[in-house]
Amino acid sequence: MKAVIWRGLMAIGMKFHHFADPKPPSPNFKILIPSRLSAAGGQFKLVFYVPESYYTSTDEDFRFPIVVNFHGGGFTLGTGTDDARWASAVLKNVDAIFVSVEYRLAPEHPFSIGVEDGTDALIYLAAHAEELRIDPHRMALSGFSAGGNFAFTVPLMLRDLQNDVGRRSLHETVNTHPLHNYKSSSNLSLPRPALTRTHSAATSTHSILKLSDLEPTALEVDQKIPDLTIRAIVSFYPPTDFRSSRAEKRSTNPAPEKNLPPLLTNLFDESYMPGCDIDLADPYLSPAAATDADLSAAYPKDIILYTCEYDMLNVEGTAFGNRLASAPIEKTLHGGLIRAVPHAFDKKPNPLHFPEAANKCYNEACAQLKRVFGGRVSIEERTQLDTVEVVDRFDEEESAAGSRLAKGKERQRTEDTDGLLKGPDIYDPGFKKYLDVPKR
């Protein structure tokens, strides 16, 4: 009952969050897919946001990169549309398909069903890549808070499946459908390569041509895991280590008054990890508990990680990032610790204004994704958050570039301030002299 009440409150907050201009897009379509990894069976939704070029491209063979996202909410709250502003940034800056996984929530669906749903989603999208116009070798994962945890735990579960270690396996059947007859249910409308497109995404958010079902693939028929490549992980303020207590986590925040209240974090923990039989060192729960070898093998080269200084999850997040960047794992870490901001600084329920820091954080993360997917971006695009916030970056080159940007912005502010303080004189560049303005 507590979870239901908090879900309602979060939904109201998200309506305010989405009300500010520029308003985020609505989903283009959704697909309801079956669970194959969870012993409980069942089904869940994938929420699709697609770029305009998805409908207007004349290159029928082109396959889009994809960002698979997991929303936050302590594993207990939230929906697949919560990160619509992040989806908008990805569509605009990366020209990629954005899929938000509406994984099933605790306490109805405790650990590890959310991780299993996330892994199921990734496998499903790769299996149906041709129909959905997805490039399965240009995939990225992203997530916020609890979803940021999934961005790190899903690759570990996927690798175990690929290596058949026996911890999870794809079910031959699900609760309601024999897999050899199964077709995913959806309100999907998308262009088939052989069909002529007649509408644009601008004229219809439900697309062009009705395609009610996706055809079974080797995944459905033979439980075969498709070939896919994760190119990057983007994780915003994630929990990475449940081996430490909430009290220990809280004590690490230099601004303890900005911590989430115990009433809420207790609900999250009791819902997602009920009872005392859960191994808190399980890497599917605490990715920081995984071995160096497993992290090195499961994760892509590029990892974009942001933590918040005024957040009880900051210390474990930055420690995890530093570990990933160090030998023997040696991943390339981007992002960093954002000074003087709290957990979920980008999700404020402000109907009048979307924070500039959040906008620049999203845009520079998108610049990293664009680069990873094969595009060209400048170092300034990858460090633009430094113009509005102080960021302790993981990458030395990006740290130096961010410092230059910050100094340049500070000089500009100083010059603007000096100009205001000079009083009534106005410089006319046409006459190359100052003009006296009569005082009132």
Query: How confident is the model over 395-428, as pLDDT tens digits?
Result: 999 999 999 999 887 766 655 545 444 444 444 4
Distance, CA of 340 to CA of 342 (rounded, Å): 7
Distance, CA of 150 to CA of 154 (rounded, Å): 5
3-state secondary structure of 144: strand
Map tokens 């974009």 to a residue: 304
Q: Is the pLDDT of residue 180 over 60?
A: no
Whole-structure pTM value = 0.87
Quick one: average pLDDT of 185-192?
A: 46
Quick one: average pLDDT of 137-147?
A: 98
- The closest of 24, 28, 34 to 187, measured between CA atoms, is 28
Distance, CA of 72 to CA of 313 (rounded, Å): 14
Say if residue 300 is exposed, middle or buried (CB neighbours under 10 Å; 0-12, 13-18, 19+).
Answer: middle
Find the DSSP H helices in 138-244: 146-162, 218-222
Percent of the chain at pLDDT exceeding 70 = 83
pLDDT score for 114:
98
Which distant-in-sequence residues (6+ apart) come within 8 Å of 117 by Cβ? Answer: 35, 37, 38, 44, 101, 103, 104
Q: Which residue has the higher pLDDT, 26 or 412?
A: 26
Q: Is the pLDDT of residue 61 over 50?
A: yes
Find the DSSP H helices in 23-165: 53-56, 84-94, 113-127, 129-132, 146-162
Contact 311, 257 (CB under 8 A): no
Contact 303, 395 (CB under 8 A): no
3-state secondary structure of 136: strand
Map tokens 């997917």 to a residue: 373
Tally the residues of the chain: 440
Question: Quick one: tokens of 118?
Answer: 């996330």
Residue 96: HSE in the Cβ half-sphere, 13 Å Cα cutoff: 32
Q: Is the pLDDT of residue 203 over 60?
A: no
Q: Which residue has the higher pLDDT, 213 or 33?
A: 33
Which of 63-67, 184-188, 249-253 has the lowest average pLDDT? 184-188
Q: Is the pLDDT of residue 76 over 80?
A: yes
Quick one: average pLDDT of 91-109?
A: 98
Q: Is the pLDDT of residue 437 over 60?
A: no
**β-bridge pairing 64-70 and 134-144:** parallel
Greatest alpha-carbon pair distance for the chain in Å reads: 85
pLDDT digit string, tens, across residues 340-395 = 999 999 999 999 999 999 999 999 999 999 999 999 999 999 999 999 999 999 99
Residues forming a β-bridge with 233: 141, 303
The CA angle 21-354-387, to the nearest 5 degrees, is 125
Average model confidence (pLDDT) across the chain: 87
3-state secondary structure of 135: strand
